[in-house]
């Protein structure tokens, strides 16, 4: 058993307290906002003293706790197709079975459905379903322009601000019973900037050889607080300060990443990974990598809630403008050339030996264009590339033997490349 570090204990307490607050929201009078991780408006939710619920977080947590399979079957009995995003089906199934969250505490019904659309069309259909399941709930839609030409224009930002002023904030005022306080929002955004500075420093540390962290499997824990509603809080700042201190200590000692079975003693392969992980067999999936000394030094998935390492920061002096620009800067809202450029930069900057895609059966927003990404990166950088397939939270689509065989072939290719380069 790996001893928990202080940052892990802090994070566990933060998340536990959030779910406790949610379970007592109706008694305490706290209003509840259902929203999504990419393009989330955590700071605005906090400015109105409301509590966030992230359906895809509930789904992935249910997957890790082996609960998602029964929820998905419940949603399919309700009428959802096998091809529908399994996050959606897990969330709908959880609701149909009493809305008991992954911690065992009941998730309250939403007072507001806040959809900040960021590159995933499924989100809109998801909230249409939730509107049917929670009749009479207030809905606010923030339509985010897609970065088709790879840049955010002044007109795009103005369009976002107009929606915030005309649609989102009035709905939040109505639901919360409080007036919009820009001074309060600016203070919250100051904490966001500090958090974003720290998360960039943390995910820069794998540039060290050996890397002190795994930026994919461990990385999904590190992005937890910034993505589930704590961005913009002092708690997030303190958590990331502690985590960064622990990681720097590992660098000083020349230590590799910590896994569920202890520390990786020898780093064999450094990889950049595209796509979300599989949650239903998360530990078995991770073990296939660390048993072979393979560590992930950068991943696109840890950028799903914000591409901060490309320079974006929330700006307290431009509060609504920066909220809009944040939504437009999320990974799934980038066009394919931007994503390829970002992955190329990661491969070079983090001294990666290879590039691997985990293609998700039911996630079009991530899977679309992945074969093109592979081909372009292989041609330009002349590095080995690999491709595996699984799903988010449907245990029926995780084939351990198939993934193991493909990964072993990929690792053999990396080993041969290393031998050739050594000679």
Judged against a pLDDT cut of 80, whether residue 150 lies above it is answered with yes
Domain presence at residue 392:
no
Domain presence at residue 419:
no
Domain presence at residue 96:
yes
Q: Which pLDDT value is given to residue 274?
A: 97
Bridge partners (DSSP) listed for residue 47: none
The tally of domains found in the chain comes to 1
Q: Which pLDDT value is given to residue 1?
A: 45
Bridge partners (DSSP) listed for residue 138: 112
Judged against a pLDDT cut of 70, whether residue 349 lies above it is answered with yes
Residues 6+ apart with CB under 8 A from 70: 93, 97
Q: Which structural domain, as residue segments, surrounds residue 44?
A: 6-180
Judged against a pLDDT cut of 90, whether residue 6 lies above it is answered with no
Stretch 369-378: mean pLDDT:
95
Percent with pLDDT over 70 in the chain:
99
* Burial class of residue 409 in the structure, from the number of CB atoms within 10 Å of its CB (0-12 exposed, 13-18 middle, 19+ buried): exposed
Q: Which pLDDT value is given to residue 187?
A: 98
Radius of gyration of the chain (CA): 21
> 47-56, 113-122, 131-140, 223-232 — which is least confidently predicted?
113-122
Domain presence at residue 270:
no
Domain presence at residue 158:
yes
Stretch 44-60: mean pLDDT:
95
Domain presence at residue 87:
yes
Q: pLDDT tens-digit profile of 213-233?
A: 999 999 999 999 999 999 999
Percent with pLDDT over 90 in the chain:
84
Judged against a pLDDT cut of 80, whether residue 67 lies above it is answered with yes
Q: Residue 421 — pLDDT band, cuts 50, 70, 90? A: confident
Q: What does the alpha-carbon distance between residue 39 and residue 324 come to, in Å, rounded to a whole number?
A: 8
Q: Which pLDDT value is given to residue 3?
A: 56
What's the half-sphere exposure (Cβ side, CA atoms, 13 Å) at 143? 5
Q: What does the alpha-carbon distance between residue 153 and residue 357 come to, in Å, rounded to a whole number?
A: 31
| Domain of residue 111, CATH code | 3.40.50.11890
Judged against a pLDDT cut of 50, whether residue 329 lies above it is answered with yes
How many helices, marked H, and strands, marked E, lie in the chain? 19, 10
Domain presence at residue 273:
no
Q: Which range has the top average pLDDT, 14-28, 95-109, 126-140, 184-198? A: 184-198
Judged against a pLDDT cut of 70, whether residue 2 lies above it is answered with no
Domain presence at residue 160:
yes
């Amino acid at each position: 058993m790996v001893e928990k570090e202080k940052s892990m204990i802090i994070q566990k307490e933060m998340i536990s307290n959030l779910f406790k607050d949610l379970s007592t929201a109706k008694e305490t009078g706290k209003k509840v906002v259902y929203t999504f991780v990419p393009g989330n408006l955590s700071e605005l939710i906090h400015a109105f003293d409301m509590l966030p619920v992230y359906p895809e977080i509930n789904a992935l947590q249910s997957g890790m706790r082996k609960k998602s399979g029964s929820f998905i079957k419940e949603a399919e009995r309700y009428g959802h197709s096998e091809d529908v995003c399994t996050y959606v089906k897990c969330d709908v199934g959880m609701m149909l079975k009493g809305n008991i969250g992954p911690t065992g505490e009941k998730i309250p019904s939403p007072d507001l459905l806040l959809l900040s659309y960021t590159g995933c069309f499924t989100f809109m259909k998801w909230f249409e379903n939730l509107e049917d399941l929670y009749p009479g709930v207030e809905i606010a839609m923030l339509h985010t322009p897609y970065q088709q030409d790879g840049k955010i224009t002044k007109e795009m930002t103005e369009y976002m601000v107009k929606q915030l002023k005309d649609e989102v904030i009035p709905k939040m005022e109505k639901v919360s019973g409080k007036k919009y306080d820009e001074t309060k929002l600016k203070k919250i955004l100051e904490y966001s900037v500090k958090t974003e500075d720290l998360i960039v420093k943390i995910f820069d540390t794998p540039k060290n050889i050996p890397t002190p962290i795994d930026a994919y499997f461990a990385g999904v824990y590190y992005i937890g607080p910034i993505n589930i509603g704590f961005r913009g809080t002092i708690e997030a700042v303190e958590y990331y300060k502690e985590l960064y201190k622990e990681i720097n200590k590992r660098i000083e000692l020349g230590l590799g990443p910590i896994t569920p079975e202890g520390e990786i003693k020898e780093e064999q392969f450094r990889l950049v990974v595209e796509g979300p992980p599989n949650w239903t067999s998360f530990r078995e999936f991770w073990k296939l990598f660390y048993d072979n000394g393979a560590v992930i030094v950068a991943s696109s998935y840890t950028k799903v809630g914000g591409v901060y390492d490309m320079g974006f920061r929330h700006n307290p002096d431009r509060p609504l403008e920066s909220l809009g620009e944040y939504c437009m800067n999320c990974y799934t809202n980038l066009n394919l050339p931007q994503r390829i450029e970002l992955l190329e930069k990661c491969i070079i900057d983090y001294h990666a030996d290879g590039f691997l895609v985990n293609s998700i059966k039911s996630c079009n927003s991530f899977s679309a264009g992945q074969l093109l990404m592979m081909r372009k990166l292989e041609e330009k950088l002349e590095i080995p590339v690999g491709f595996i397939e699984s799903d988010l939270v449907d245990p029926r689509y995780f084939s351990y033997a198939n993934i193991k065989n493909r990964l072993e072939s990929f690792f053999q290719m990396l080993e041969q490349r290393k031998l050739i380069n050594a000679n």
